[in-house]
């Protein structure tokens, strides 16, 4: 029932986008919302396992787009192969609920393997540090952070829905503020305080479904806009360095990164907050 309502809602938004055409201010944001919706709906209606693998696929698409934009050398290819290969491992650990391995597989094993593989790929030494950094960052953002949303979904789909919904609110507000085009303290403060009541409201109203006590829900609602703000800041710097500007953003050119950047900090921190305070496995 809820799934149908959300699907209808998204369809309406999609329709509005179609009607507005170029005047639509949110770019391809609706696309990523559809992707998350498919993941959640699959998890709710069919099985968590399948929904989890949808997340894995989103993660793959995002990583592929990111690697297409960074400058890589021929000898980084083994490391990039390893980066792609860690997606199935990561999401397998989520499926079986092996928390310990899920949390260390990328920061320990992948991050150790990648520099080694770069050295095994060829004898060029110049650019090693840059390559390690570029590959590790992509892996961290698009696989590790996405994995946290998926792991959150293994506790309860509604927790993940609450997270995505609140981040979406923050993103929409920030994009509208961006349209106004005013830098300054006021815009910064507004992009925190404008979504704040909405995020707290959503978090508290959804608390019977998320099973997070309302106090913690309110705290999460207050945290999310701030974390999303920090994530957007980081993401926008990454985008600028990769040469993604508003006029060139498109398929394979920062579209997914642009829409996921707010989640960079939100996903892991909210996940660990919930896991710690609710004492979850």
Partner 1 sequence: MKAGRLVTMSQAFIHVAVLRPLVRLFCGVHVTGAAHLQRLQRFIIIANHNSHLDVFLLFSLLSVRDIALTHPVADETYFERFPIVFALVRFLFQPVWIRRGHPDRKDDPLHGLKDLLDRGHNLVVFPEGTRGRPGELQTFKSGLGRLVSEYPGVPIVPVFLSGPERVLPKSSAIPLPFWSHVLVGPPQVCAGSPRDITQHLQDALHELAKSGVKRLRPRQRRLQSYQPAPAVAILGIDGSGKSTVSRRMAERLSMGGGACLVSDRLEFYENGEPKPLQPLVLDAARGLVSRYAKRARSLAHYKIPKLTELLLRDRMLAEVNRWYAPRIIVQDGSPLLNMAAWATLYGREDLSEDRLATAVGILAGQRHGIARSDPIFEELPELRHLDQLGLTHLVLPRRLVLLDLPATAACARIATRGEALQPHETEEKLKRLRDAYLKVVRIIDQHWRVPVLVLDATQPLDGLIVEAVRFLNVVLEEPSKT
Q: Which among 10-18, 22-30, 61-69, 257-265 is the span making contact with partner 1, rule CB under 8 A? A: 61-69
**Interface with partner 1, residue 62, by CB under 8 A:** no
Q: Which among 5-13, 80-88, 108-116, 269-277 is the span making contact with partner 1, rule CB under 8 A? A: 80-88
CA distance to 8, 61, 274, per residue, from 200 (Å):
24, 31, 15
Tell me the Cα Rg of the chain: 19
For residue 253, what are the β-bridge partners? 250
Between 78 and 115, CB nearer to partner 1: 78
DSSP-derived 3-state class of residue 13: helix
Site string for partner 1, 247-276 (x = CB under 8 A): -x-xxxx-----------------------
Q: Which of 65, 136, 171, 258 binds partner 1 (CB under 8 A)?
A: 65
**Interface with partner 1, residue 100, by CB under 8 A:** no
**Interface with partner 1, residue 215, by CB under 8 A:** no
Residue 174 phi/psi, 5-degree rounding, is: -65, -35
DSSP-derived 3-state class of residue 111: helix
The torsion angle over the Cα atoms of residues 92, 44, 224 and 261, rounded to 10 degrees, is 60
Q: Which of 69, 132, 164, 223 binds partner 1 (CB under 8 A)?
A: 69
**156 and 211 in contact (C-beta within 8 Å)?**
yes
- Closest distance to partner 1 from the beta carbon of 243 (Å): 4
Between 99 and 130, CB nearer to partner 1: 130
Distance, in Å, from the CA atom of 200 to the CA atom of 205, rounded to the nearest integer, reads 8
Binding site for partner 1 (CB under 8 A): 60-61, 64-65, 67-72, 74, 77, 80-81, 84, 130, 182-185, 241-243, 248, 250-253
């Amino acid at each position: 029932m809820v799934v149908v309502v959300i699907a209808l809602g998204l369809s309406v938004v999609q329709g509005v986008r179609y009607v507005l055409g170029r005047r639509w201010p949110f770019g391809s944001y609706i696309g990523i919302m559809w992707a998350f919706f498919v993941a959640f709906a699959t998890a709710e209606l069919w099985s968590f396992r399948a929904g989890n693998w949808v997340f894995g696929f989103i993660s793959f698409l995002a990583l592929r787009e990111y690697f297409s934009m960074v400058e890589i050398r021929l000898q980084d290819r083994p490391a990039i192969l390893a980066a792609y290969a860690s997606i199935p491992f990561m999401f397998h650990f989520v499926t079986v609920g092996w928390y310990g391995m899920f949390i260390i597989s990328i920061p320990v094993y992948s991050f150790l393997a990648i520099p080694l593989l770069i050295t095994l790929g060829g004898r060029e030494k110049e650019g090693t540090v840059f390559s390690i950094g570029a590959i590790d960052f992509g892996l961290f953002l698009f696989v590790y952070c996405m994995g946290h949303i998926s792991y959150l979904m293994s506790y309860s789909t509604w927790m993940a829905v609450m997270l995505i919904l609140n981040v979406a609110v923050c993103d929409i507000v920030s994009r509208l503020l961006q349209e106004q085009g005013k830098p300054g303290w006021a815009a910064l403060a507004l992009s925190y305080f404008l979504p704040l009541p909405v995020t707290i409201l959503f978090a508290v109203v959804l608390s019977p479904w998320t099973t997070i006590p309302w106090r913690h829900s309110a705290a999460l609602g207050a945290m999310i806009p701030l974390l999303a703000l920090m994530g957007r800041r980081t993401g926008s710097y990454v985008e600028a360095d990769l040469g993604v500007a508003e006029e060139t953003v498109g398929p394979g050119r920062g579209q997914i990164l642009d829409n996921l950047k707010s989640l960079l900090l939100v996903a892991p921190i909210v996940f660990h907050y919930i896991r710690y305070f609710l004492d979850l496995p």
